[in-house]
Structure 1
Amino acid sequence: MKHKQAGLSLIGLLIVAVLLAFVFLIGMRTVPVVTEYFAVKKIIHAIAASNPSMDETTADIRRDFDKRASAEYVDSVTGQDLAVYKHGGQFEIGIEYSRKIPIVANVSLLLEFQTDAKSNGGR
């Protein structure tokens, strides 16, 4: 009875290793960007939850964002990138931005982020 040998050849092992290295590379490049997005989201929701008074200007909210972003090491966006609207007795704060991550040579990964939050009304 003939038995067929099963297992991974050297070429198969190299292919698997290259694929795993590529996945690891993409993960290592995207994790900091996604972590920064979650920091931006947390800052925007914290500002909205602090219920800015209607006396505050959009410049005050942007300045508050810049202070918090500096503490969270957010470098991709600034307060000038925020969209701040007053609707009735509440603020709506949002941001939309993208990050291009170079992978290898002319291959890049584009990540687009969007988040917004509404305040519960003025103080």
Structure 2
Amino acid sequence: MGLSKLVGTGSRAVLGAGGRRHQRGVSLIGLLFWGVVVAFGGVVAARVLPTVMEYYTIQRVVDRIAASNPSTVPAVRADFDRAQQVEYSVTSISSKDLVITKENDKLRISFAYDKQVELGGPVFLLIKYAGQSR
């Protein structure tokens, strides 16, 4: 009885019925493909992360202002302008972009803005942010 079938385990080669070896693993082309995909994902994440952090900063400022319950709309705008001077990362909106309403004697501040992130050349990513006070 010959050695026509040899089945290996793990990463060893497998001999089939014809005695041919079938290799397992990642080819160089596959490795390059996944390297490009991971690199592109990293570039997108690095460009988008600052805009997400800015959104959360704006949300935190708006929540803090709404919790203090200022009496007038100009007071809300002045509080936001003061916070914008302290929080250097808030550049996408100004106090004029805030929509201020009063519901059941509680102040509601909402905002919305678009952010374009350049990915390279003529390619941009458009992100639409919107939020309101809690």
TM-score by length of 1: 0.85
Q: 1:4 aligns with which of 1, 22, 33?
A: 22
Matched, 1:14 2:32: yes
Question: What is the one-letter code of the residue matched to 2:33?
Answer: I
- Which protein, 1 or 2, shows the higher relative CO under an 8 Å CA cutoff with sep ≥ 6? 1
Structure 2 segments unaligned to the other structure (5+ residues): 1-18
Number of positions where the alignment pairs a residue of Structure 1 with one of Structure 2: 115
What does residue 112 of structure 2 align with?
96
Note the C-alpha offset of 1:90: 2.6
CA distance in 2 between counterparts of 1:25 and 1:64 reads 35
CA distance in 2 between counterparts of 1:99 and 1:63 reads 24
What does residue 42 of structure 2 align with?
24
Deviations 1:20-55 (A, max 9, x none): 1100000000000000000000001110111223xx
Matched, 1:46 2:64: yes
What does residue 83 of structure 2 align with?
68
Structure with the greater alpha carbon radius of gyration: 2
SS in 2 for 1:113: strand
What does residue 122 of structure 2 align with?
106
CA distance in 1 between counterparts of 2:104 and 2:31 reads 63
RMSD across aligned positions (CA): 1.4
SS in 2 for 1:42: helix
CA distance in 1 between counterparts of 2:44 and 2:85 reads 26
SS in 2 for 1:108: strand
CA distance in 1 between counterparts of 2:126 and 2:78 reads 28
SS in 1 for 2:108: strand
Structure 1 segments unaligned to the other structure (5+ residues): 119-123
What does residue 100 of structure 2 align with?
84
